[in-house]
């Protein structure tokens, strides 16, 4: 497929996202059993998860707490009364034959969130709704050559679905939106936000229309994108597919398409079903969810410091440049890491620099999260403290940092072992400074006549005499006072 740029054409893309976030509650949505990942198959199940007759669901209060947090953090209205509905369809890994969800009365509705675009501007994306639902189990097709295996551990895991208005216009905006959602759920600590493991999933609805048109075109729905990159690529592909189709006289058919990351294309999975196909009706086993003012106030009071507030605090309290504060607070765990490493160091910019350049470089190279980073914030704190106290040079800091990646040793142990501690002993440096001045009478004279640029020369000579171990700031001061006093 040609890579025609959407901006060059007479077409505009319209995109709306449905994002599922798996909540990090301890137990399932309607049954008192763990949702812990990685348990032996079919061990985290109760008769309810198996769809046995006579079993009744009981709502997990934390599911409501978590979704209300999300609603408040995204400026939603919170319905004081909302109900659960049954969404009826058959899945082999869904024994009840229906999914408990919400239909015409979602608990959160009408919010918005602001996404950050590459050029530094922000764009508001409106939210239609956020509702509660349960996940299905898992069908495993690739372990037994003859059978599909079913694991019901995941069945009944609490999810929230965040549905956006069709306000998104480009693949880049779509991934920026996902980044923003991940950031918010992580800050709220309601979901780990891991797309690879499926804790955060996204369906993208995509249509095109001639530029200037206000009516919506027919949409397709894309599934199976498990990274921000893939969200972007799949939408890009789909926009181009639709444009070519229409320009060649075809029409877009409403359907669900699967993204194939290996072949880099979307493929038809099924024709798109409509809401009425699911025969939604209120679940008679669950009472309406009533939100009291007290409950709401309690949750409001428990909301943590959110990303934008934290960013502003980093600028005001630590005097960091806006850009540093932005990068550090983008990911809650990185911001936590920074603050733990800082822990009282006078120069926050020095800590920010090493986190933003060195730490993030390693995370990128190894494709890991800050949670898996091998240097603890406490160890990094010691390293930066050594540098800020002029105990080591900046190049020694780099050497020690690299060494710390490979071992559990502390920064000061490595500095001693590698003989990298700077000499700040004036008794040792004094004779070296005197010698260098005595050996260079011409330079000394010119310096005194005003050629202050020669300072670098003197310091360099002393550094050489000390085999690179002298503290250059201290040497500078000593040379200065010597030359000025004579």
16 binds, among ligand ADP, Mg ion, none (CB under 5 to 8 A by kind): ligand ADP
Chain centre distance of CA 50 = 35
User: Taking CB under 6 A as the criterion, which residues in 59-88 touch ligand ADP?
Assistant: none
Residues whose CB falls within 8 Å of the CB of residue 12, separated by 6 or more in sequence, listed in order:
6, 169, 208, 209, 210, 211, 213
Residue with tokens 């549905």: 163
Q: Are 243 and 208 in contact (CB under 8 A)?
A: yes
Measure the CA–CA gap between 259 and 269, rounded to whole angstroms.
Answer: 10
Give me the 410-429 binding string for Mg ion, x by CB under 5 A, dash otherwise.
--------------------
The residue with its CB nearest to ligand ADP is 16
Number of neighbours of residue 168 by Cβ within 10 angstroms: 25
35 binds, among Mg ion, ligand ADP, none (CB under 5 to 8 A by kind): none
Binding flags for Mg ion, 4-33, as an x/- string (CB under 5 A) = --------------x---------------
Between 238 and 324, whose beta carbon lies closer to ligand ADP? 238
**If residue 290 lies in a helix (H) or strand (E), which one and from where to where?**
strand 289-290
Binding mask 267-306 for ligand ADP (x = CB under 6 A): --------x-------------------------------
Taking CB under 6 A as the rule, does residue 231 contact ligand ADP? no
**DSSP 3-state percent helix, strand, coil across the chain (nearest 5):** 40, 20, 40
If binding is defined by CB under 6 A, does position 234 make contact with ligand ADP? no
Name the residue nearer to Mg ion (CB basis): 18 or 388. 18
Among 353, 341, 308, 289, which residue's Cα sits nearest to residue 63?
289
Q: Which residue has the tokens 């699967």?
A: 258
Q: What is the DSSP string of 399-461?
A: HHHHHHHH----HHHHHHHTT-PPB--HHHHHHHHHHHHHH-HHHHHHHHTT-GGGHHHHHHH
C-beta closer to ligand ADP: residue 214 or 394: 214
User: Is position 219 an interface residue for ligand ADP (rule: CB under 6 A)?
Assistant: yes
Please select the residue that binds ligand ADP; options are 12, 16, 173, 385, rule is CB under 6 A: 16
Residue whose C-alpha is closest to residue 458's, from 442, 477, 437, 438:
437
Q: Which of residues 170-209 bind ligand ADP (CB under 6 A)?
A: 205-207
Closest separation between CB of residue 400 and ligand ADP, Å?
A: 50
By beta-carbon proximity to ligand ADP, the closer residue of 15 and 159 is 15
Q: Name which position in 1, 216, 253, 290 contacts ligand ADP (CB under 6 A).
A: 216
From CA 375, how far away is CA 406, in angstroms rounded? 9
- Residues found near ligand ADP in the complex (CB under 6 A): 14-18, 163-166, 205-207, 216-217, 219, 221, 275
């Amino acid at each position: 497929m040609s890579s025609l740029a959407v901006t060059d054409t007479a077409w505009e893309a319209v995109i709306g996202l449905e994002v599922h976030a798996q909540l990090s509650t301890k137990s399932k949505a309607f049954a008192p059993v763990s949702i812990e990942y990685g348990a032996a198959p079919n061990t985290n199940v109760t008769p309810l998860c198996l769809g046995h007759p006579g079993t009744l669901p009981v709502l997990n209060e934390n599911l409501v707490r978590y979704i209300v947090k999300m609603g408040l953090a995204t400026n939603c209205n919170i319905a004081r009364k909302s109900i659960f509905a049954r969404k009826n369809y058959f899945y082999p890994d869904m024994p009840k034959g229906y999914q408990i969800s919400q239909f015409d009365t979602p608990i959160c509705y009408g919010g918005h969130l602001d996404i950050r675009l590459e050029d530094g501007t922000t764009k508001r994306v409106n939210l239609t709704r956020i509702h509660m639902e349960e996940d299905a189990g898992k069908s495993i097709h690739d372990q037994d050559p003859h059978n599909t295996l079913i694991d019901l551990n995941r069945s009944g895991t609490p999810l929230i679905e965040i549905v956006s208005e069709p306000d998104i216009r480009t693949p880049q905006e779509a991934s920026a939106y996902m980044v923003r959602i991940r950031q918010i759920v992580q800050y709220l600590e309601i979901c780990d936000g891991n797309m690879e493991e499926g804790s955060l999933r996204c369906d993208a609805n995509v249509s095109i229309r001639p530029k200037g048109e206000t009516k919506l075109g027919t949409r397709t729905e894309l599934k199976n994108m498990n990274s921000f990159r893939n969200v972007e690529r799949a939408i890009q592909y789909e926009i181009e597919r639709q444009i070519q189709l229409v320009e060649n006289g075809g029409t877009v058919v409403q359907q669900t398409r699967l993204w194939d990351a290996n072949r880099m294309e979307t493929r038809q999975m099924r024709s798109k079903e409509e809401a009425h196909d699911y025969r939604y009706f209120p679940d008679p086993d669950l009472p309406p969810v009533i939100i009291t003012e007290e409950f709401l106030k309690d949750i409001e009071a428990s909301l943590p410091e959110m990303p934008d507030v934290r960013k502003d605090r980093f600028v005001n309290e630590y005097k960091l440049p806006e850009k540093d504060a932005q990068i550090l607070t983008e990911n809650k765990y990185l911001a936590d890491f920074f603050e733990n490493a800082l822990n009282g160091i006078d120069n926050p910019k020095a800590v920010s620099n090493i986190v933003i350049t060195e730490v993030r470089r390693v995370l990128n190279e190894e494709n890991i999260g800050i949670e898996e980073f091998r240097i603890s914030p406490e160890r990094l704190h010691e390293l930066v403290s050594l540098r800020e106290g002029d105990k080591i040079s900046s190049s020694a800091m780099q050497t020690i940092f690299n060494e710390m990646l490979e071992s559990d040793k502390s920064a000061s142990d490595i500095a001693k072992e590698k003989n990298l501690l700077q000499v700040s002993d004036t008794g040792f440096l004094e004779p070296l400074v005197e010698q260098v001045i005595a050996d260079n009478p011409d330079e000394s004279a010119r310096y005194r006549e005003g050629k202050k640029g020669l300072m670098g020369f003197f310091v360099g000579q002393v550094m050489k005499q000390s085999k690179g171990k002298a503290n250059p700031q201290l040497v500078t001061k000593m040379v200065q006072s010597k030359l000025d006093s004579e």
